[in-house]
Amino acid sequence: MTGTQVAELPYPEDAADAFARLRPLAGAAWLDSGAPRHQARYDIMVALPGRELLRREGVCWRREGGDWIRIEGDVWALIADMLGPRREAVPGVPFSGGALGCFGYDLGQADVLAPRDDRPGDGLPELWLGFYDAALILDHETRRALLVQRPGGERAATGIRERLLQPTAPTPAPFRAGALQEEPGRDGYGRAFRAVRRYLRDGDCYQVNLARAFRCGFRGDPFDAYTRLRRWSPVPHGAWMTLPGGQSVLSLSPERFLAVTDDRVETRPIKGTRPRDRDAARDRALAEALAGSPKDRAENVMIVDLLRNDLGKVCRPGSVTVSQLFGVESFASVHHMVSVVEGRLTPGTMATDLLRASFPGGSITGAPKKRAMEIIAELEPSRRGLYCGAIGYIGYDGTMDTSITIRTAVCADGVMTYRAGGGLVMDSDEAEEYQETRDKAHAFLKLAGEGGD
């Protein structure tokens, strides 16, 4: 830890208020634990990255202290190169500097769609990472706020400290949503659903994750929308960030994609959903029905097998195990079936190698992955963008934690876009699957004035 400093600051009771103070700083981003209502242990807040890496329309750009410069190379190798040799960990904190940002679903299509995907997109980059040498860690278990500063992070640490200690936080302009549009609507979804059924029947694939988009115009500040969404639907893998083009990312993901600590890997795929009910007895019955559903169990085990295969590409032989199968976890608006797959990285393997081998996550493509992604590109009318990619960090110390970018809204050019989908298998019911997309979009529909109180 030569040259690394850790300073204790006053612990903020309200993480959203703390980040509101930091948000005006360039490159500010927040990995949100959902505290206090859905409390994972840590919040991570960063700002003022020393370097940035961006990929848009297949072209990579790097910024370090000035203008963006076009660079060549494989994106995963570029990330590893910018991280550099592994540095010593800082005890007691999950992130002590490194790369933090978002990986779009389209990063995983290079080997699937050739030469390119001509469907319209949302105007977002396929990748954005800030490389941070300072971070504010809120430890909700010990109720401490720790400011970690690596060499080179003096400016960022000073900016974070000064902003956090300001007497008041800026008040965001109230968010107001316009009319809702769905892509596709009920009829279009039905046509795509039946096309997937034909592919399943013909043996092209075993499962396909079919998604659709919800869009609305808006006025006001998307951060106001985020604070409302996290209050309604707190999750352990939330995130807020503003991309270099000014687009806002509001993520309320319940699903861990890949985590690495030392050489240990964990992924927690979600496959299987039921809505919550205000009546406690009916709510328990819905959770029990999910736990015992042969269809949902079949979907879940297909994805578990896919992820075991992905992890097996970079993990030690025999180390990949399933430590939880068909668990049920409950969130604000839905119950989810969650499994846990673990492994140990092969010596010399980096977190970026694991990402390359596993991206995008199998729980949001289908099986087999390549054919499912081809079908998704054929049937979904627009590119997914950040949806079903990943958000998280890769530390200088080799650690990593990322979420699957679901339950996520993107604000760009006055339009908010939210996507929701579900895995389809042969015995899927069209009406039930359509309704599941609305169940998963419950918080967004509430924000847009639909979907109940």
Domain residue limits, the chain? 5-447
Q: How many residues appear in the chain? A: 453
Report the sign of the C-alpha dihedral through residues 410, 210, 236, 302, in that order: negative
* Average pLDDT of span 197-211: 96
Question: Is the pLDDT higher at 154 or at 116?
Answer: 154
Q: What percent of the chain is helix, strand and coil (3-state, nearest 5)?
A: 30, 35, 35
Active site residues: 255, 271
| First-last CA distance in the chain | 50
pLDDT at 451 over 50: no
Mean pLDDT of the chain: 93
Question: Is the pLDDT higher at 111 or at 160?
Answer: 160
CA distance 162 to 203: 60
Q: For residue 421, which of 402, 409, 406 has the smallest C-alpha distance?
A: 406
| CA-to-CA separations, 261 to 247, 258, 266, in angstroms, rounded | 31, 10, 9
* Average pLDDT of span 131-157: 97
CB 63 within 8 A of CB 52: yes
Report the sign of the C-alpha dihedral through residues 393, 398, 401, 404, in that order: positive
Strands 400-404 and 390-395: antiparallel
* Least confident residue range of 168-172, 208-212, 263-267: 168-172
User: Which residues have a Cβ under 8 Å from the Cβ of 405 and sit 6 or more positions away?
Assistant: 102, 105, 251, 253, 386, 387, 388, 389, 390, 391
**Assigned architecture for domain 5-447:** 4-Layer Sandwich (3.60)
The predicted structure's pLDDT at residue 1 = 53
Q: Tell me whether residue 280 is exposed, middle or buried, using C-beta atoms within 10 angstroms of its C-beta: 0 to 12, 13 to 18, 19 or more.
A: exposed
DSSP structural state of residue 405: -
